[in-house]
Structure 1
Amino acid sequence: MLSWKQLLNPIRRKSLHGSKESMGTGVGRTELERDYDRILFATPTRRLADKTQVFPMEEHDSIRTRLTHSHEVSNLARSIGVLLAFENAEKVFGLNHDELKVTRNVPAILAAAGLAHDLGNPPFGHQGEIAIQQWFAERKWENEIDIDFREFDGNAQTFRLLTQLQVLNDQFGLNLALGTLAALIKYPSVYGSENKGGFKKYGIFRSEQAIIKEVWEHTGLSEGIRHPLAYVMEACDDIAYSIIDAEDTVKKGYASFYDLMDFLESHDGNDEIIKSVIEKSREKNAEFKKDELSSRELNDISMQMFRVKAIAEMVKSATNVFVDNIDKMMNGEIESGFELIKFSECAQLCSAVKRFDFRYGFQHKEVLKLELQGNNYIKKMMSMLWKAISCEDIENSPFERFVFGEISENYRRIYLKSDKSHYAKCQLLCDAVSGMTESHLIKKHNEFKALENGSA
């Protein structure tokens, strides 16, 4: 049986290896509260401002980036954490909830997980992951391509980034608390393992196998078993990229508020939650029509009211499902494929809005065109980087030496300390591409291409 004392473990990996922090800057904050602050001020977090949420290379400042998405997921996760810690403390965390400081630690750990959950995503959103997978699939190498790269995933890259790549002054990455690291893991299995725990993906690269075993050992978890709070983070991601992506689709002008209402009514209009959300949204829309608003203003403010109502329903439902199933989670009896939203009374609302997003947003011809451009940029950049990384005589190869020197020092340092195997080279390639923002990747792609062709 899982224990909340272990699941909220505030110990940091550095402490396990006999090293203590000496700055003395944590006064007034719990260790889990400090983790949120560390993630907030980390460079990879700022880079999310120039990475796609839905609409690639977006110039409209009101459209969400991966950074605004992450802040919103963090906010939703913290809100559920507050509901759990203040209104359901004894039911969820037991009689010793005061000793665990759940009113401070649970909202903090969930806010941290929400903010960090997409840090490892490459440029151009999930299409960036596909481009990386495709690039490796297209190679005709003698060596077999490891599954870590054939099925590259941003979740595994996030764990690698936080535990190794984002260096403070040692090999422990951001040196987050063990409880925070465990709560971040959406897919709790190592690449190539036979025990996925019923989840659809692997979530830990083999290069971080020793680290994750350490995390699991000290949090009472094991391969295939999720931290209970990871279900909350997953639900908040679902809420954000269904409801909020619909708002951005309308903001882009690809659909209207009325398109969304008609879509929901025609697809799942008999669902009680959907009926309630539509009714409240249309009521507000009718009120706003009495004011002298432009059609764009009316669309925007009506979508805001839809977002407020829909999110409120989904947060409440996700919280209720978590509370109702906490004993199963703690006892290891939760069924395979369990998700808070999927098993809630808001399941149909979430599913219907995702279908709307796909039809009007993701499949819009402008989005598809930009995704294709992003795919091409990533693949061509990977080919140029690979020439540098795999070069056997880099000292006598000016182009390759220049490109290799443009890779982040953090990433190069970790590679140069490795065995420099084929696996390590592939991993450096993924580290380099995933760490780029979209504008930086395009700029460097054009610069490298000109140098390679001798036209610079």
Structure 2
Amino acid sequence: MMDWNNLLSEERKRTSSTHSDHRNGFEKDYDRIVPSSSLRRLQDKAQVFPLQKNDFVRTRLTHSLEVSALGRSFGNLIGKKLVEEGKVKIEDFSRKISALLATVCLVHDLGNPSFGHCGETIIQNWFKQWFSKDIFSTYKGIKTLTQEQKNDFIHFEGNAQALRILTRLQFLNDQNGVNFTYGTLASLLKYPHSSSEIDSTKGKSYSKFGYFQAEKKIVGKIKEATGIGEKRHPLTFLMEASDDIAYYAADIEDGVKKSIVRWDEEYKAIKEKLNKKYSKGFKFLDEQRDLAEINKVPDRDLVNVQNFRVWAQGEMFKACADTFMENYDAIMNGEFDKELLEASNANDIKIILEEIAVRLIYPCKEVLTLELVGHSVITGLLNMFIEALVTDEGKYKSKQVTGKYYHLISSNFKYIAKLDIDGKPNKTEQDLTLYDKLLLVTDFISGMTDSYAVDLYQTLSGVKLP
């Protein structure tokens, strides 16, 4: 059984220079990431609808803030229950896990590329095609690229990129990134396996991968320090539940705001399916709907769907907390490998909300059009930058086309790519392996906001002037 004393490890790769004792390590993690450029970029990355002029519709940042709030609440509730039941005897346990969950939930989408999850698929498909081309075998350094390294790109994953950002790319003073505690980093490992271990038949945690080969060493330290081994950290289940609860309901609300979802029709259908089980909840919702009509509240559909969201998220929250406690021993032994929401008594709410999103929101004209824009942009940028970096001999002279592309890449990313095993900037461009170059490009492109990606693509395509 995993041990909370290890799971809540406040150890860091580099010992913290702060000695203040009014914050625990996880509160410090939260305070470290809030001012970061990586987090700020999420304000211009799509949740569902990219490139929105409407401030109401959620971005990846507002979604992450909502997930963080849910995670903090889970920490308070679960922490209190575990202490009351005598399962945990650690000082300030509730405070620690609520701070950890608030932090890990805030950064859970940090590695998502522009244009949402569609962006991940575009990158995956691009590399699948690129690796299969005959010309690929002619590139310099191909023999040094292992199958495991290829898989990192073929299965490109935002979760793995988030870990890479936090442990390396969000550069401060050295190669340790923001230098989070091992406890927080372990909780972020939703899929604690490499890209060559993907096997959905083994359980949820094997359905994707959680780290690139470049981060294999730090992941080993994280697993050793926290004692999770090849299993999920228990708090990872609550992070995942917070994410699920937030977006299943919020996506519908955004759909109503954009007049894609006709809420009255959908509400009646939902009530018909769920009223028997949740009669008290629907009685309350009907009362709120009547009150809104009597008071002639403007935007009644929006008000009504917001009331529904609050109720639905509350039901899913309680059910997930119960499921965590009911399966606590199995979770601590690494024997539980499912989504809490899917295994909970409120899975019926999730199924209905998901069906509405799949039927009305994801296939709507605006979403599909913007996803096609994303396909053109990300594919185009990958074509330009990968071709430039792998065909240049490593000199990257600014007078040559390949060199021009190289010099457009963020200086921070180039600096980090040239750090040696000891974290010193001793490597030159000629020392970069093919794997280093591919990581450099995916770091650069996946880190772009939606607007910046479109702007850069249009500029380099000659559609607009810089």
Report deviation, 1:194: 7.0
**Where do residues 395-406 of structure 1 align in structure 2 (5 Å cutoff)?**
395=397, 397-406=399-408
Report deviation, 1:371: 0.8
Matched residue, 1:319: 321
- 1:281 aligned to 2:285? yes
Report deviation, 1:132: 0.5
Matched residue, 1:18: none
Matched residue, 2:104: 113
Count of aligned pairs between the two proteins: 438
Query: Contact 1:90/1:97 (CA < 8 Å) preserved in 2?
Result: no
Deviates more, 1:348-357 or 1:192-201: 192-201
**Which whole-Å CA distance do the structure 2 matches of 1:363 and 1:407 have between them?**
34
- 1:305 aligned to 2:300? no
Report deviation, 1:270: 6.0
- 1:221 aligned to 2:228? yes
**Where do residues 338-417 of structure 1 align in structure 2 (5 Å cutoff)?**
338-390=338-390, 391-392=392-393, 393-395=395-397, 397-417=399-419
Query: Contact 1:271/1:348 (CA < 8 Å) preserved in 2?
Result: no
**Which whole-Å CA distance do the structure 1 matches of 2:237 and 2:249 have between them?**
18
Q: 1:420 to 1:276 in 2, by over 3 A?
A: farther
Question: In the alignment, which of 434, 437, 443 is matched to residue 422 of structure 1?
Answer: 434
In the TM superposition, structure 1's runs of 4+ consecutive aligned residues that sit over 4 Å from their partners are: 194-197
Report deviation, 1:406: 2.1
Matched residue, 1:130: 121
Query: Contact 1:4/1:93 (CA < 8 Å) preserved in 2?
Result: no
Q: 1:85 to 1:23 in 2, by over 3 A?
A: closer
Matched residue, 2:425: none
- 1:59 aligned to 2:66? no
Report deviation, 1:13: 1.1
The one-letter code matched in structure 2 to 1:447 is T
**Which whole-Å CA distance do the structure 2 matches of 1:67 and 1:43 have between them?**
12
**Where do residues 38-117 of structure 1 align in structure 2 (5 Å cutoff)?**
38-91=32-85, 93-94=87-88, 96-98=89-91, 101-117=92-108
**Which whole-Å CA distance do the structure 1 matches of 2:184 and 2:124 have between them?**
28
**Which whole-Å CA distance do the structure 2 matches of 1:195 and 1:170 have between them?**
35
- 1:272 aligned to 2:267? no
Relative to the length of structure 2, the TM-score reads: 0.89
Report deviation, 1:348: 0.7
**Which whole-Å CA distance do the structure 1 matches of 2:55 and 2:86 have between them?**
40
The one-letter code matched in structure 1 to 2:29 is D
- Name the SS for the 1:155 alignment partner: helix
Report deviation, 1:148: 0.5
Query: Contact 2:113/2:119 (CA < 8 Å) preserved in 1?
Result: yes
Report deviation, 1:339: 1.6
**Where do residues 124-203 of structure 1 align in structure 2 (5 Å cutoff)?**
124-139=115-130, 140=133, 141-142=136-137, 143=142, 146-193=150-197, 198=203, 199-203=206-210
Report deviation, 1:396: 6.1
Structure 1, residues 197-235: CA drift from partner, whole Å, max 9, x if none?
A: 522111111111111000000101112x00000000001
Deviates more, 1:348-357 or 1:279-288: 279-288
Matched residue, 1:262: 268
**Which whole-Å CA distance do the structure 1 matches of 2:83 and 2:8 have between them?**
14
Query: Contact 1:92/1:323 (CA < 8 Å) preserved in 2?
Result: no
The one-letter code matched in structure 1 to 2:274 is G
| Identity of matched residues, % | 37
**Which whole-Å CA distance do the structure 1 matches of 2:365 and 2:85 have between them?**
49
- Name the SS for the 1:280 alignment partner: helix
**Which whole-Å CA distance do the structure 2 matches of 1:109 and 1:290 have between them?**
44
Q: 1:271 to 1:365 in 2, by over 3 A?
A: farther
Structure 1, residues 53-88: CA drift from partner, whole Å, max 9, x if none?
A: 001111110000000000000000101111112344
Deviates more, 1:84-93 or 1:147-156: 84-93
Matched residue, 1:432: 444
- The runs of 5 or more residues in structure 1 that have no matched partner are 16-20
Report deviation, 1:327: 1.1
